[in-house]
Amino acid sequence: QLVESGGGSVQAGGSLRLSCTFSRSIFQSWCMGWFRQVPGKEREGLATIDTEYSKTYANSVKGRFTISQDIDKNIVYLHMESLNPEDTAMYYCAADFSTAEFYPYPCHQTDFHYWGQGTQVTVSS
């Protein structure tokens, strides 16, 4: 189960931090990702992080967004800075888990099996 929080309305230039709380159950490793979607457009992958803290970013957010995690608390964060109206979207957290000690696949190419309900981010000019 994934639960996002932290969305809201912000003015252009502002920042927000999204959180995704997850349950790891029996799994030892994972790949977590943040995505966003605007109605009528394709879902866009933003960032990924795995249990080894390996991270990837989409070019559209590189340098402005930072993905991080607190393994002890089972939370993944997306810190977003320098927001602009084009960042307005529903933001989703996604995950794939493994019983292996280390996540066995390239995280940014993972087929995510678990999704949160989304949290809305609205950036006004």
Residue 24, pLDDT above cutoff 90: no
Question: How far is it, in rounded angstroms, from Cα 50 to Cα 45?
Answer: 15
Strands 8-11 and 119-124 come out as: parallel
Question: For the segment 62-110, what is each residue's pLDDT rounded down to a tens digit?
Answer: 999 999 999 999 999 999 999 999 999 999 999 999 999 999 999 988 9
Tell me what percent of the residues of the chain surpass a pLDDT of 70.
Answer: 100
Residue 113 has pLDDT above 90, yes or no: yes
Report pLDDT for 62.
96
* Residue 33 to residues 28, 29, 93, 104, 122, Cα–Cα distance (Å): 17, 14, 6, 16, 20
pLDDT at 122 over 90: yes
Residue whose tokens read 């609205």: 122
